[in-house]
Structure 1
Amino acid sequence: MEEKRPLGITLIGGFYVFGALVLIITLFTNATDKFGIAFRFGLPNIPEDIMRIVVSIVFLVMAFGYLRFAKWAFWLMITYTVYFLAVSIILSQQYNEQIFYGNAIWSSIVLVYTLTKRKYFYKDKLSS
């Protein structure tokens, strides 16, 4: 009997696809935030539109591999979540803004969950 894809993997991958789509949509709207996406990633000197495009591409590539249990996507997700967790913690200490706490909590959840499901990324075949 083949194992099914864990629901958490599907949800996390789906959230990253959704996030990428939202970032792409915000390129064509007049969306303004107190803290832009570049700032949230700890790179405030990069133009906002360029950062949205780059983050969208990274999210889509990462989600594509993550949903297909690619080993490289496992490591990309781990690297991304550790980086974003660290930046969110640093920014939350500096600015005491709720959004940074939420980013840190989400990154922690994704990191822990991904690490607990690492066996799925090291199997040859898995049914969807």
Structure 2
Amino acid sequence: MEQKRPLGLILIGSFYIFGAFVLILTLFTNATEQFGIAVRFGLPNVPENIMKVFVSIISLVMAYGYLELKKWGYWFSIVFNIYFLIVSISLYLQYSQQYGQYGRQPFLGNALWSIAVLIYTLKIKHFLKKGFVV
């Protein structure tokens, strides 16, 4: 009997796809942020536009593997979110000293997202099972 794909998987994968498209759109706008995407990924010396393209591609590849229940998508998601969690926590601690409460909010949100995705991904075992339908 075929089972439905869990809603959490669909939501997480969809958020990564949405985020990638938003990053691509910001290449063509004059969007300014206090902390760009390069800073949020712990690479402040990388040009912002290059980082946006790189993160968009990585997010789309990861979302594809995640939504298609590929083992590499599972592991890619875990490694990506562990890296993003570590960077977000370290930046949270660094910027909370420099900028106070408002300087650390983006990094706290990123850390909480990474924790939520990691807990959900590690909890489910759907990547190891077959017979799921969209």
Specify if TM > 0.5: yes
5+ long unaligned stretches in structure 2:
97-103
- The aligned counterpart of 2:55 is 55
- The aligned counterpart of 1:87 is 87
- The aligned counterpart of 1:116 is 123
TM-score by length of 2: 0.93
The aligned runs of 1:1-128 (5 Å cut-off) are 1-96=1-96, 97-117=104-124, 119-128=125-134
Residue deviations 1:54-109 (CA, integer Å, cap 9, x gap): 00000001001100000000000000000000000000001121110000000000
- Percent identity, aligned pairs only? 61
Aligned pairs, number:
127
Mapped partners of 2:25, 2:7: distance in 1 = 27
What stretches of structure 1 move > 6 A for 4+ residues in a row? none
5+ long unaligned stretches in structure 1:
none
TM-score by length of 1: 0.97
Mapped partners of 1:70, 1:34: distance in 2 = 36
Are the counterparts in 1 of residues 3 and 131 from structure 2 also a CA contact under 8 Å?
Answer: no
Mapped partners of 1:36, 1:77: distance in 2 = 22
Residue deviations 1:8-29 (CA, integer Å, cap 9, x gap): 0000000000000000000000
CA RMSD of aligned residues (A): 0.7
